[in-house]
Amino acid sequence: MSGTILVQHADGRWFQLASLLVSGAHRVRAAGLPPTINPPSGPFTSGVAIPVSGSAAGFATVWAVLFVGGAEQGARASAAVTDAAWSASLTPATPGSYTVRLFNASVAGTLLAESATFSVS
């Protein structure tokens, strides 16, 4: 029997653990470092796609979304994780101060990582 356990670091980032039931005892193995988002490198213009990427060892898929003005902007973009790396493309609709947020689900879910703030003109 196996399952998934998410553990939060003191700095607020999350990482995934896998738990295996072996002979009536639990053994836990770290799946990797906490998920990350590489700092987006601008300049950025509204209406123009921004490539985003990072790492997410232990996850098969993650979802990235732009965050501005206290809310998500647009739908979360699904990103398959290959060799611990993920990438997606997100398009800001309006100028503003943004971050990229990474989740473990397409709706709701756990916030796994958040990028540094960047500006869109």
- pTM of the entire predicted model: 0.75
Q: What is the CATH number of domain 35-120?
A: 2.60.40.10
Other Cβ atoms less than 10 A from the Cβ of 56: the count is 28
Residue 36: closest CA among 18, 7, 14, 61? 14
| Six token digits for residue 17 | 């653990």
* pLDDT digit string, tens, across residues 44-93: 999 999 999 999 999 999 999 999 999 999 999 999 999 999 999 999 99
User: What's residue 33's pLDDT?
Assistant: 82
Residue 61: closest CA among 90, 103, 13, 14? 103
Instruction: Give the Cα separation of 92 and 87 in Å (integer).
Output: 16
